[in-house]
Amino acid sequence: MSKTIEKSVTLASNSVSTDSRRGFLKGMFMSVAAAGVVAPVALKADDAAITEEAEWGVKLGFPVDKYGYGQRSPYEHNVVRRVTDLLSSGDMYASVAMCPIHELEGGIITPNGLFFNRSHGGTAIIDPNKYRLMIHGLIEKPIVLTLAQLKRYPSESRIHFIECPANGSAEWRGPQFNSIQFTKGMMSSAEWTGVKLSVLLEDLGVKPEAKWVLAEGSDNSEMGRTIPIEKIMDDAMLVWGQNGEALRPDQGYPVRLLVPGWEGNLNVKWLKRLEFGDKPWHAKEETSKYTMLQPSGKAIRFFWPMEVNSIITSPCPEKPWTDLKKGDVVEIEGLAWSGQGTIQHVDVSLDGGDNWTEASLKGLVLPKSWTRFSMIIKWDGKPLVLQSRATDDTGNTQPTINQEIAAVGVESVYHRNAICSWEVKANGEVNNVHVRG
Partner 1 sequence: MYMSEVRKPLLRTMVALSVIVGSAMAADMKIEKNVDGAVIYPTKDGHYQAYSVNTQSKKGFSSYGRTPTAAEIKAWNKDVMPDGTGLPEGKGSVERGDELFADQCAMCHGDFGMGGKGYPTLSGGQGTLKNQLVDAAKGDEPPVRTIGSYWPYASTLFWYIQSAMPFPHPKSLSNDDTYALVAYLLSVNEIEIDGQELDDDYVLDRAKFLKIKMPNRDGFYPNVDGGVGAKEVAKFLKNPENYGKGTRCMKGCKDGKVTPIKFELKDFKPAMSTTRDLPKEEGSKTVSKGQKLYEAKCSACHANAAIGAPVVGDKEAWAKVTAKGMDVVYKHALSGFNAMPPKGGNMDLSDATVKEIVDYMVGASK
For ligand HEC, the closer CB: 65 or 85: 85
Q: What is the DSSP letter of 240?
A: E
For ligand HEC, the closer CB: 211 or 289: 289
Q: What is the DSSP letter of 422?
A: E
Binding to partner 1 in span 361-400, by CB under 8 A: 364-368, 385, 389, 391, 393-394, 396-400
Map residues 219-258 to x or -, x wherever contact with partner 1 holds by CB under 8 A.
-xxx-x---xxxx--x------------------------
Buried b / exposed e along 290-319 (16+ C-beta atoms within 10 A): bbbbeeeeeeeeebbbbbbbbbbbbbbbbe
Asked whether position 340 contacts partner 1 by CB under 8 A, the answer is yes
Which of 222, 430, 232 lies closest to 319 in space, CA to CA? 430
| Distant-in-sequence, close-in-space partners of 285: CB < 8 Å, separation ≥ 6 | 120, 223, 224, 225, 265
In sequence order, what are the beta bridge partners of 337?
A: 309
Contact call for residues 187 and 310 (beta carbons, < 8 A): no
For ligand HEC, the closer CB: 8 or 288: 288
Asked whether position 90 contacts ligand HEC by CB under 6 A, the answer is yes
Binding to partner 1 in span 123-162, by CB under 8 A: 134, 136, 141-145, 149-150, 152-154, 156, 158
- Region of 104-112, 161-169, 326-334, 409-417 interacting with partner 1 (CB under 8 A): 409-417
The Cα–Cα gap between 377 and 351 comes to: 13
For ligand HEC, the closer CB: 289 or 425: 289
Partner touching 140 among ligand HEC, partner 1, none, CB below 5 to 8 Å by kind: none
Choosing from 15, 89, 360, 427, the residue that interacts with ligand HEC (CB under 6 A) is 89
Nearest approach, Cβ of residue 115 and ligand HEC (Å)? 19
Residue type at 285 in one-letter notation: E
Asked whether position 169 contacts partner 1 by CB under 8 A, the answer is no
Nearest approach, Cβ of residue 194 and partner 1 (Å)? 13
- Three-state SS for 196? strand
In sequence order, what are the beta bridge partners of 136?
A: 275
Choosing from 115, 415, 424, 430, the residue that interacts with partner 1 (CB under 8 A) is 415
CB-count burial class (<10 Å; 0-12, 13-18, 19+) for 371: buried
Asked whether position 85 contacts ligand HEC by CB under 6 A, the answer is no
Asked whether position 120 contacts ligand HEC by CB under 6 A, the answer is yes
- Region of 86-94, 200-208, 239-247, 309-317 interacting with ligand HEC (CB under 6 A): 86-94
Alpha carbon of 148 to those of 19, 132, 361: distances in Å?
59, 10, 40
Alpha carbon of 301 to those of 194, 263, 282, 416: distances in Å?
29, 12, 10, 15
For ligand HEC, the closer CB: 4 or 288: 288
Asked whether position 170 contacts partner 1 by CB under 8 A, the answer is yes
Asked whether position 86 contacts ligand HEC by CB under 6 A, the answer is no
Alpha carbon of 371 to those of 187, 329, 335, 347, 396: distances in Å?
13, 23, 6, 13, 16
Omega cis (within 30) before 74: no
Asked whether position 322 contacts partner 1 by CB under 8 A, the answer is no
- Region of 96-104, 162-170, 283-291, 340-348 interacting with ligand HEC (CB under 6 A): 283-291
Asked whether position 301 contacts ligand HEC by CB under 6 A, the answer is no
Asked whether position 261 contacts partner 1 by CB under 8 A, the answer is yes
Nearest approach, Cβ of residue 42 and partner 1 (Å)? 26
Asked whether position 225 contacts ligand HEC by CB under 6 A, the answer is no
Nearest approach, Cβ of residue 299 and ligand HEC (Å)? 13
In sequence order, what are the beta bridge partners of 215?
A: 225, 274
Nearest approach, Cβ of residue 94 and ligand HEC (Å)? 3
Q: What is the DSSP letter of 139?
A: B
Question: Cα angle vertex 117, ends 155, 241, to 5°?
Answer: 15
- Region of 87-95, 159-167, 297-305, 330-338 interacting with ligand HEC (CB under 6 A): 87-95
- Region of 47-55, 109-117, 297-305, 329-337 interacting with partner 1 (CB under 8 A): 297-305
The Cα–Cα gap between 401 and 407 comes to: 10
For ligand HEC, the closer CB: 90 or 154: 90
Asked whether position 72 contacts partner 1 by CB under 8 A, the answer is no
The Cα–Cα gap between 215 and 256 comes to: 10
The Cα–Cα gap between 26 and 210 comes to: 60
